[in-house]
Amino acid sequence: MNTFRDMLNNWESKSQEASERVEFTLTMDKHDLVKIKAFAKAYGLDEATITEDLIRSAIKEAEQAMPYVKGQEVIRIEEGEEIYADAGKTPLFVEAEQAISHEMHMKSQ
């Protein structure tokens, strides 16, 4: 029986999750807040958890929806086919994401 080991692993996991959290204030439409409160009540969860999960899901879908725009530059050849650089917003998004992540990491040290 590994009761203490499981408990300590669970604490470690929760500790790591907590260290990755940041507080962020946002303004939203009252109608949206009503829906968040209703989800929280229906599922027995707090409003912050509902809001975090909704934002996380929206971000994932938005990233997946970013269109590929064929650029001019060939970046590689796969199975004899030329693959062109993305000239859309995805490369700018990825670059900004990496820079902001690095900046936030440096500030937290």
100 has pLDDT over 70: yes
Q: Are 43 and 50 in contact (CB under 8 A)?
A: yes
> Where along the chain do its domains lie?
26-65, 68-109
Specify the 3-state DSSP secondary structure of 22: coil
Distance CA(101)–CA(55), nearest Å, equals 18
Please report the pLDDT score of residue 43 as a whole number.
Answer: 95
Q: What global pTM score does this model have? A: 0.76
